[in-house]
Amino acid sequence: MKTDMSHAETAPTSPLPRRRIDLVDLARGLALLAMFVYHFAYDLSHFDLIATDVPAHPGWSAFARLIAGSFLTIVGFNLVLATREGLNRPAYFRRLAMVAGAAALVTIATWFAMPGSFIYFGILHHIALASVLALPFLRLPAFVLLLFSALFFALPLFPPPQVLDQPWLLWLGFAHISRSTADFVPIVPWFGCVLAGMFLGKIALAKQGSWSNWQARSFPARVIAWGGRNSLSVYLLHQPIFIGVLFIVMRLAVGPEQEARPFLISCLRSCVSAETSLQVCEKACNCAIDGLKREGLWRKVLSNTLTRDESARTGSIAGACFRAP
């Protein structure tokens, strides 16, 4: 059963192909590739395999926001295309159940894997809820969608009503209270990306061209488009694969240098955060490691079994290294 939710203003002059549109799948696949880059860097940082603190780095944080925005924009764009002839209820609810189920799975998995920063409202949670919230907006003309999109982006600039500034309403994006989480994509302002995608979808329907008939013919394009068509499965599988590979690499690469790496990475991050050059930090941190080994404190540092006096001695050794020219 279908319910007509199209708007007369954007009715296409000629029907789009009923098959999936390769260009949309390609765009989603490219967003997945960008996400792979970020998540792999995040995992390297989490396991102290690189000096950069990826979640706290401004450049990486901006990259993560760009990726999230691209996914949500594609969600809005695709929703307009999928409902161009009306809402196919069975297909819609089947897809919604899959995304909501995947979001619940992510929450449960991260609750056990990292309870201090489990994901309670990440990108999948947002997509599931946005897929429902966006339905009334399908009837609106393109320029109104653009206005609503701008409104959602502007809302964080204004103080929220006190009633919305509550811990249990964190997912709305108004609360000033923060909670540690590995992925947080609240309704405000991110739903603005979905509406922006719907705006672009309306424009695309009104100005049909070769974009809708473009086909992924080269092997790389076909692979990326395949990933876009199967984005939910790829999303759920990629992190366990990354973490599994890194875990195996870390287990196989046990040696003196690898043993010192977590301490070295922690030292470098602390040093660089004080706006000291990486070259100076590397010299000072390696100096501290050498000093701790000479004093017979290195093993106790690794096992976190230092006494109070030994901790003070450790601080003195490190301080001398950082004061050295």
Do 123 and 160 lie in a common domain?
yes
The pLDDT score that the predictor gives to residue 257 is 61
* CA 211 – CA 22 distance, rounded (Å): 9
Q: Looking at the structure, tell me whether residues 90 and 153 fall in a common domain.
A: yes
My answer on whether 231 and 316 are in the same domain is: no
Residue ranges of the chain with pLDDT lower than 50? 1-14
198/270 same-domain check: no
Do residues 159 and 31 both lie within one domain?
A: yes
CB 90 within 8 A of CB 155: no
pLDDT of residue 13: 40
| Residue 269 neighbours by CB distance under 10 Å | 18
Give the C-alpha separation, 128 to 120, whole Å. Answer: 13
Domain boundary pick from 219, 250, 281: 250
Domain boundary among 250, 281, 303: 250
| Residue 251, pLDDT score | 78
**Same domain for 216 and 202:** yes
CA 76 remoteness from chain centre: 18
pLDDT for 253 equals 66
pTM for the full predicted model: 0.79
Question: 155 and 259, same structural domain?
Answer: no
231 shares a domain with 96: yes
Same domain for 191 and 112: yes
The SS3 assignment for 62 reads helix
**Most distant pair of Cα atoms in the chain: their distance:** 81
Show the domain range for 124.
2-250
Give the long-range contacts of residues 262-269, CB within 8 A, separation 24 or more: 262/48, 263/289, 263/301, 263/302, 264/289, 265/48, 265/49, 265/50, 265/51, 266/48, 267/318, 268/51, 269/51, 269/52, 269/53
Question: Which residue's entry shows tokens 């992924």?
Answer: 216
Residues 246, 275 within the same domain = no
Which of these three, 208, 232, 250, is where a domain ends? Answer: 250
> Using an 8 Å Cβ cutoff, are 189 and 173 in contact?
yes
d(CA 274, CA 12): 57
Looking at the structure of the chain, the number of domains it has is: 2
pLDDT given at position 280: 85
For residues 246 and 134, membership in a common domain is answered with yes
Distances in Å between the alpha carbon of 149 and those of 98, 152, 174? 26, 5, 17
In this structure, the answer to whether residues 143 and 291 fall within a common structural domain is no
* Cα torsion angle, 295, 300, 306, 311, sign: positive
What φ, ψ does residue 212 adopt, rounded to 5°?
A: -75, -20
DSSP per position, 169-215? GGGGT--S-----S-B--HHHHHHHHHHHHHHHHHHHHT--GGGG--
Taking a C-beta distance cutoff of 8 angstroms, is the pair 210, 177 a contact? no
